[in-house]
Amino acid sequence: MGEHAQIARVGGDEFALLFTELPSTMVEGLLDQIRVALSRPVIMGRHRISLSASIGLAITQPRPNTSPRICYAMPTRQCIVPRH
């Protein structure tokens, strides 16, 4: 995903993408490309498999002297804390 992106698996079929230092319009464009790619069927042998995904977007402003933290509403209230 490049030097301004990180991806993490946060659950069985749940993933989080963290984009830093990118304009929100660019992030929206990247998410649209991901949505289009996932909407294309996958052919495995004689089988055609359709995929679907729910994609949400949260935009925050950087805060000085704080560690970036992403929390989202899940039963386990998991958080992702990027480590450098």
**pLDDT tens, residue by residue, 51-74:** 888 888 877 776 655 555 555 544
Q: Name the residue range of residue 55's domain.
A: 5-80
Of residues 34 and 1, which shows the higher confidence score? 34
How many domains are there within the chain?
A: 1
Q: What is the pLDDT of residue 75?
A: 47
Claim: this prediction has a pTM higher than 0.85: no
Q: What is the torsion angle, in degrees rounded to the nearest 10, for the CA atoms of residue 11, residue 45, residue 34 and residue 73?
A: -20
CA distance linking residue 78 with residue 81, whole number of Å: 10
Instruction: Kindly tell me if the per-residue pLDDT of 15 is higher than 90.
Output: no
Q: How confident is the model at residue 44 (pLDDT cuts 50, 70, 90)?
A: very high
User: What confidence tier does 43 reach under pLDDT thresholds 50, 70, 90?
Assistant: very high
